[in-house]
Amino acid sequence: MATIINAGRVAMVPKGEWASATAYTRLDVVLYNGSSWVAIADSTGQVPAEGSAYWQLLSLKGEQGEKGDKGDTGATGATGTKGDKGDTGATGATGATGPQGPKGEQGEQGVGFDSANSPTPADGTWQIKLTNGDTITIDLNHEHPQYLKFELVSALPASPDSGTLYLIAAE
């Protein structure tokens, strides 16, 4: 007849970082402050430390190693999200003048002076007949002879208003 003996747990079980609220059993392995510890007795809340009745140091955290060789450049990452619109930049220099545009179409016939129907005045008032039939009356200003006073009898084409117009005579 064979005798069966219960040897219990016979292999270590990694449990990750030590946590005070976790219940650990014999042969659980934890990481604490960079070193690894194996449980030698069941416990909860017992901090792994040298000389503890619950933990035995499995491997001690090593010293900082020397700086290694520079690694290869990694792959380009994904494009990030579009940023906010930036401030308006400074005004640039004025560009070169462009080429002259094409010649425009001939305009409509304008209003001209009808010299045949505009007699020379004797009393200082001229009436100038225009080719469209309108009349301009010119009254010589006797107080200021360098000014001529024009009074429109009717509105001329392309003229915004009728009224009085003063012209400075050339000396």
Residue-range domains of the chain with CATH: 13-59 (2.10.10.20), 115-168 (no CATH)
d(Cα 81, Cα 87) in Å, to the nearest integer? 19
* Dihedral sign for Cα atoms in the order 87, 93, 96, 98: positive
Q: Convert the pLDDT of each residue in 5-45 to its tens digit.
A: 877 788 999 999 999 999 999 999 999 999 999 999 999 99
Q: Convert the pLDDT of each residue in 86-139 to its tens digit.
A: 999 999 999 999 999 999 898 777 655 555 555 555 555 666 666 666 666 666
d(Cα 70, Cα 52) in Å, to the nearest integer? 42
For residue 85, how many C-alpha atoms fall within 13 Å in the half-sphere facing its CB? 3
